[in-house]
Amino acid sequence: MAAACPKCNIEMPVQARFCMQCGSDVGGAPVSTVVHPTSWLPRGTRLGPYEIEQLIGEGGAGTVHRARDRVRDRIVAIKVLHPSLTGDSEVRRRFVREARLMRTLSHPNIASVFDLIEEQRLLGIVMEYVEGPTLSTELARWGGRMPYAVIRAIMTAVLNAMDAAHRHGVIHRDLKPDNIFLVESPEGDQIRILDFGSVKLQMETGPKLTAFGTTLGSPYYMSPEQAMGKADVDNRTDGFALAAIFYEMLSGKIAFDGKQVAEILMKIVNSMPEPLSRVAPGMPPGLDDLIEKGVAKDKKKRFGSTTELAAAAFQAFGLQATADRASIEAWGKKPVAEIEAALATATPPAPAAYGAPMPMGVTPLPNQAPVAAAPMSVAPPAGGRSMMPIVIGGLVLLIVISLCGTGLLFFFNR
């Protein structure tokens, strides 16, 4: 199933917030539903040992179906590449390469990829079937702003999972609350990150996949380099999205919000989110520095890894952590009550002290202490004459030249 924009009637994914043609905000608006006859597989379709049971989602690159693995007797999810893309040999090559790479990536917080379906007219990835609320749902349940003790459990799992993926050479490129699931289990909620790969294909194949609106459906967490259409994305691109998600969890507000895609992208490229100290009073002041570094326009100024971002977040709250997975995992596994007790006795560093030396491996955050601007004056250099007459003379000369140029133009245009 797909949706049609009520304004320009162009087809787009059901979950898209913005129309990919006119940029209109269609979130919550009534949309007409259309059936794309080649974008979904009917119930009962057999793909090797897998039997299609239900269409559960449609995105920019294709559809996702729930299916039963008849050999292993388990429920799986199958992401099928849109048929209009499978005829492109380069798209097929990259899709297959990405699927095989994801099969080698094993992490408890990343949805597992089990198999690759490769037929003449169909390409699909068989992966773990994930059921549970998304982080978007949890944000809505908490009314937007979430307690840090709860945020800590979610973000440490996500940050560690992304660190493992980055070390494996895998960049997500579309991290957002809708791709982070909280799966219920006897041990409590387990985090699963979904949708690796499809956005990498989009970045590498250009407008072919962009035409289906993968990016325009969720532009809030795009990095500046993605918003400008650059292809040189890396782990710091994911870091930008994670910092924006962290900001939203702490404040209840989207870091880069807007009513149209163009407005959002302009903010991502040119603006900074309002400081947390203003939108979420009572938060440790060092978090302003953390967010500023996390969503820096120049990716070279961001955190070098997701574990650095995690360690900086703990340190901002006055908790001791270092930028290594063991330290972050240890904090992530602590019970909520223990975290709350630690926060109650912790002393967050002041903003001016937040640039002080940190433990080995942690990139210091910028010192945000205000610096007085130098007065605008033309003081005479030591042992020399005042520069004021020279400056005034130069301005007069520029005015005269400008007037002469205007006069010449008028003369020749008569």
> pLDDT, tens digit, for every residue of 384-413?
444 444 434 444 444 444 444 444 333 334
In this structure, are 269 and 341 located in the same domain? Answer: yes
Work out whether the CA dihedral 10, 13, 15, 18 comes out positive or negative: negative
Q: In this structure, are residues 203 and 173 in contact, taking their beta carbons and an 8 Å threshold?
A: yes
Same-domain pairing of 209 and 319: yes
Please tell me the pTM assigned to this model. 0.71
Mean pLDDT (whole number) for 116-137: 88
Contacts 24+ apart (CB under 8 A), 162-168: 162/193, 162/235, 162/238, 162/242, 162/306, 163/305, 163/306, 163/307, 163/325, 164/105, 164/107, 164/110, 164/325, 165/105, 165/107, 165/110, 165/196, 166/235, 166/238, 166/305, 166/306, 168/101, 168/104, 168/105
Measure the CA dihedral 232/234/236/241, to 10°: 90
pLDDT (average), residues 89-113: 85
CA dihedral 374, 379, 380, 386 (to 10 degrees): 150
Q: What is the domain count for the chain?
A: 2
Does the CA dihedral 327-333-336-338 come out positive or negative?
Answer: negative
Q: What is the mean pLDDT of the chain?
A: 75
Contact 116, 101 (CB under 8 A): no
Task: Compute how many other C-beta atoms are within 10 angstroms of the C-beta atom of residue 359.
Answer: 13
- Cα of 309 vs its chain's centroid, Å: 14
Identify whether 148 is part of a domain: yes
Same domain, 184 and 91: no
Q: Do residues 119 and 223 share a domain?
A: no
- The reply to whether 241 and 327 lie within a common domain is yes
Which stretch of 24-28, 264-268, 325-329, 331-335 has the lowest confidence by average pLDDT? 24-28
Per-residue pLDDT tens over the stretch 167-224 = 988 888 889 999 999 988 766 678 999 887 544 444 444 433 333 333 444 689 999 9
Tell which of 323, 353, 383 closes a domain: 353
Query: What's the confidence (pLDDT) of residue 209?
Result: 36
b/e for 120-151, b at 16 or more Cβ within 10 A?
eebbbbbbbbbeeebbeebbeeeeebbebbbb
Q: Domain range spanning residue 191?
A: 135-353
Which of 300, 321, 353 is the C-terminal boundary of a domain? 353
Alpha carbon distance, N-terminus to C-terminus of the chain? 66
**Average pLDDT of span 123-131:** 91
Q: What are the pLDDT digits (tens) for 25-36?
A: 665 444 333 334
Residue where a domain terminates, one of 76, 94, 128: 128
Angle, in degrees to the nearest 10, between helices 148-167 and 235-251: 170
Q: Are residues 315 and 263 part of one domain?
A: yes
Residues marked active site are found at 174
